[in-house]
Amino acid sequence: MLHLVVIIGLLASVSSKPCGTAESKRELLTSLNMNLLRSVDNPGLPNPSIHLALRLSNYHSLAKEAEYLNKLNNQLHNDIQSSITNSQPVTGILALYGLALRSSCYDLTTITFTVGDHSENLLTHLKNQMEQEKEHIVVNRRPLTNYYQYSLGLLSLCVSSIKVHNHVSHKVIVAADKNDFKLGETESIDTYAMAGMALQCEKDSGLYMGNFTELNIALSEIKKKILDSRRPDGHMGNEFSTGLAVQALLAMGSDVADCADSMVAMRTAARNNVYHNPMAISQMLPALQKTSYLTLKSKQCLNESDSLVLASTNPTVPVPSSINVHVIVKVVTSSKAEVVYSVDVPKGSSLLEALNLLKTKNVGFTFELEPSLWGPFLSSVDGEQARQSDRRYWHLSSDGTALTEGVSDFKIEVAQKIRIENTSY
Ligand code: B12
Ligand SMILES: *[C@@H]1O[C@H](CO)[C@@H](O)[C@H](O)[C@H]1NC(C)=O
Ligand SMILES: *[C@@H]1O[C@H](CO)[C@@H](O)[C@H](O)[C@H]1NC(C)=O
């Protein structure tokens, strides 16, 4: 009998372990929150997704957040203005900017852009962008940007109680129904999650005037898709979509407990420093705090805990490893021509460092980057551009497995064959 008690006790302690103590969970959240707060001093354009996550957190550094909001209103605003002037679509970034402003309870009607010869406020311009996106779907059966940004646009308008044409929302319902949230061959769980939050918001606010049965069917299909994407380790889609997937499930009314598989999976990944990119933290942290972008709809910014104090840290300067690893880089162009290069790089280098090293060897390898919210995006290789306007991009894989990180985040720890292929999606 005593044995049995001991065994049960052991089992209980083993099974409760992955969930961790309340103390260790709080420490993890604080450290993620601090890392995000520290990232606001990084050079480059301010990132509205980071502001949004800081504002959705339970703990704040109100002065730093106000400073960052200012930066958004100047630098990001200017950048979006120049995209508008150059007639580039701004759906996603404008939507995120709107969500960021909303998260600070900022009066959005005061933010305006010059469009052609007149001035339009942010939400009006976003609404017009959505009309253009919709027209593009009608003609080309896909949005001007992508369904992730399309859904982000709907969500941003919805949390500010802006009603769009039923046709605009209906396109997301149809796409969900047809399983159209794909990038190439793979389903984008990030996109299902964003679409779920957008449609749920419309449902909750009574903004959708179309067929309610259809809306409900789409929502349950999206929910099922997200739940079905759960891997044995608890992640939904991959490590980087789980945060948005959990946010969507919470928004759609699921009871995602603190110790649910996906929460545990995210905390484990966070402890293993998988989320070192601030953009990744910005999508995970709200989920880990059991909140979602949908809560912006009723956010009031009252009585916030101004308790986050940045401890100064001594930046650790990584010492390059003295061990070299051999990397083979195979470039496959749009005409299927293959060029193989090789380079030895210090173990632990990023793929970007490896590509830079290869470039300096003057063996014909060249490349170009474009900045994005996730960091540098590889846009051109050996003089060939993979244009998003042609729905092409340089797909990255290692030893036959697609990378889940970009060139500056992916680290080379062992000898491997990197394939960079001009791919259509
Ligand atoms: C749509 C999309 C794409 C499209 C973008 C083009 C388009 N017009 O649709 C395409 C198919 C090109 C793409 C490519 C890749 N993607 Co992608 N993509 C997305 C998605 C679903 C939405 C991005 C978006 O529109 N954001 C909204 C706008 C406002 O933000 P933005 O930063 O301005 O958007 C641009 C950049 O994000 C850029 N982009 C897209 N993906 C990636 C990935 C990286 C690493 C970088 C630096 C930039 C970048 O394209 C966007 C449109 O111009 C996100 C999901 C998410 N959670 O964010 C994944 C996501 C960002 N992608 C991801 C990955 C891994 C990739 C690839 C590295 C895949 C691969 N193995 O090759 C490549 C990039 C390779 C390269 N050349 O550098 C990961 C990044 C995770 C991480 N830790 O870095 C995400 C989070 C998906 C996931 N859960 O795994 N992607
Ligand atoms: C609403 O959609 C459902 C499901 O597609 C359909 O059966 C029903 O006839 C539609 N109702 C109306 C009024 O169009
Ligand atoms: C404000 O927050 C403090 C601490 O979080 C709490 O004790 C207090 O009751 C709150 N006051 C209001 C009006 O919500």
Write the pLDDT tens digit of every residue in 28-66: 999 999 999 999 999 999 999 999 999 999 999 999 999
- Cα–Cα separations (whole angstroms), residue 29 to 260, 264, 274: 16, 13, 14
- Report the atom number in ligand 1 closest to the C-alpha of 189: 89
pLDDT for the residue 1: 45
pLDDT for the residue 311: 79
**Mean pLDDT, the chain, whole residue set:** 94
Domain boundaries 324-424, corresponding CATH code: 2.170.130.30
154 — pLDDT class (breaks 50, 70, 90): very high
What mean pLDDT do residues 168-193 have?
93
User: How far does the centroid of ligand 3 lie from the alpha carbon of residue 155, in Å?
Assistant: 30
Tell me, using a 6 A CB cutoff, whether residue 129 lines ligand 1: no
Q: Which of 56-60, 77-81, 88-92, 320-324 has the lowest mean pLDDT?
A: 320-324
Tell me, using a 6 A CB cutoff, whether residue 303 lines ligand 3: yes
Residues of the chain with CATH 2.170.130.30: 324-424
What mean pLDDT do residues 322-340 have?
97
pLDDT for the residue 18: 63
Exposed e or buried b for every residue in 260-290, given b needs 16+ CB within 10 A?
bbbbbbbbbbbeeebbebbbbbbbbbbbbbe
Nearest CA owner, ligand 2 atom 10: 211
Exposed e or buried b for every residue in 48-68, given b needs 16+ CB within 10 A?
bbbbbbbbbbebbbbebbeeb
Burial of 134 (0-12, 13-18, 19+ CB in 10 A): buried
76 — pLDDT class (breaks 50, 70, 90): very high
Other beta carbons less than 10 A from residue 161's beta carbon:
11
Correct CATH for 22-298 of 1.50.10.20, 1.10.760.10, 1.10.3080.10, 1.10.3720.10: 1.50.10.20
pLDDT for the residue 117: 93
3 — pLDDT class (breaks 50, 70, 90): low
pLDDT(8) > 50: no
Tell me, using a 6 A CB cutoff, whether residue 300 lines ligand 3: no
